[in-house]
Amino acid sequence: LAKLAEQRDPRVFVTPACPYCPGQALAAIKCAVERPDLVSAEIVEIDENPDLAERHNVGSVPHTLFGEDHAALGLMPEERFVVELVTLKDASEFLGEMAAQAQGPAPERVDLAIVGAGPAGLSAAIYAARSGLSAVVLEGGPIGGQVSLTPTVENYPGFASVPGKKLMEIMAAHAREYTHIVTDAQVEDAAEENGRFELRTRKGTFSARAVLLATGAAYRALGAPGEDRYRGFGVSFCSSCDGYLYKGRQAVVVGGGNTALTDALHLKHLGVETTIIHRRDAFRAEKHLQDSVAREGIGVRFNSEVVEITGDDKKVTAVRVRDNAAGTTAELPTDAVFIAVGHVPNNDLAKKLELELDGGGFVSVDRAMRTSRPRVYAAGDLTGGSMQIVTAVSEGSLAALSAFEDLGTPYWKEGGGGDSAGH
């Protein structure tokens, strides 16, 4: 940024409920503070400036305009934001070369390295530190994982109703009382060397006696034509991020579980005309959510699938829906498609560590959250199961306690104290 020689006027489009927008806005403001002579940042709240958002074809937030010919979607690490602001180009290749060339600081040595700062990882950090283990939490994206994108959480004990982002802020603050959370620290490689695990990140290499994977899961795509083409321009996986864009307009929500119905209710409350499309003949969501959908009068199409998403080359205009019962296909006009059809595990690191996976790609664990490899544990959505916050928290704490037990009395050695349950 110190080498910047030309004027830059980054403009970040945001909405009030977007959990990722504050981070992107802060990056722009920090650049303006650092170089007030050449950087002037503007944060645009879309709900108050719909015409400006439409002029720049903003279909998802945060949406950042770095210049006339360069824009970016989503929250970016601060380092990447600065590079793209200065170069007005995609920073992937530059940052990749920089990471490869960097030697990094001396490895930080800990007892337990926790990968992921969602409910499982944060609870594990608390329990590990309280047990006497030195620990570090490594997070490549925003703290909180999928929960931060949930508009309202109503089934976590102690909170009758709380925004997902707020709940994760409380958890993170608690975890920070015990251990360090390293952000922008995506683990790019992991290997076991001389009895320790070496985890390489852009922030340096961390050396640990044991590793806990709490990398969660990503939203599952539909795989329908037009989905990739209009992602960020009407196709969204985050109703709390993008719902405000469609106030007074039409949207469809695809799915039939808790997430889909929560998204539909959130959109309805924002003033979005909402229709749920579900491929089965009944919802899988909690009865409380089903009752709320019925009470709010949200339209539902059962036994139906979105087979194509169409648009005008700039934004979504309709979906083609197949009625599986009737065997017919019809076009349904819509301004947005919110997809909530399940998750796929973020298992790249698990594969690098050669862990046993089940048929769905989730990490196989025993009842104490031990994986097929000694001193490697997994917890949360990465292990499949109910995909609930409360189970992720319990699995994270159990995994940390198992690590504490194993590092003192290894179950894989004769006479050790743990129960490997087949592992």
Catalytic machinery residues: 238, 241-242
User: For residue 326, which of 307, 304, 306, 309 has the smallest C-alpha distance?
Assistant: 304
Whole-angstrom distance, CA of residue 343 vs CA of residue 386:
12
ω before 119 within 30° of 0 (cis)?
no
Strand partners, 357: 363
- Name the token pair of 397: 């704490």
Whole-angstrom distance, CA of residue 343 vs CA of residue 345:
7
- Going from the C-alpha of 200 to that of each of 206, 235, 406, the distances in angstroms are 6, 34, 24
Whole-angstrom distance, CA of residue 261 vs CA of residue 290:
7
**Residue 417: partners with Cβ closer than 8 Å, 6 or more residues away:** 405, 408, 409, 411
Q: Is the dihedral of CA 7, 203, 200, 374 positive or negative?
A: negative
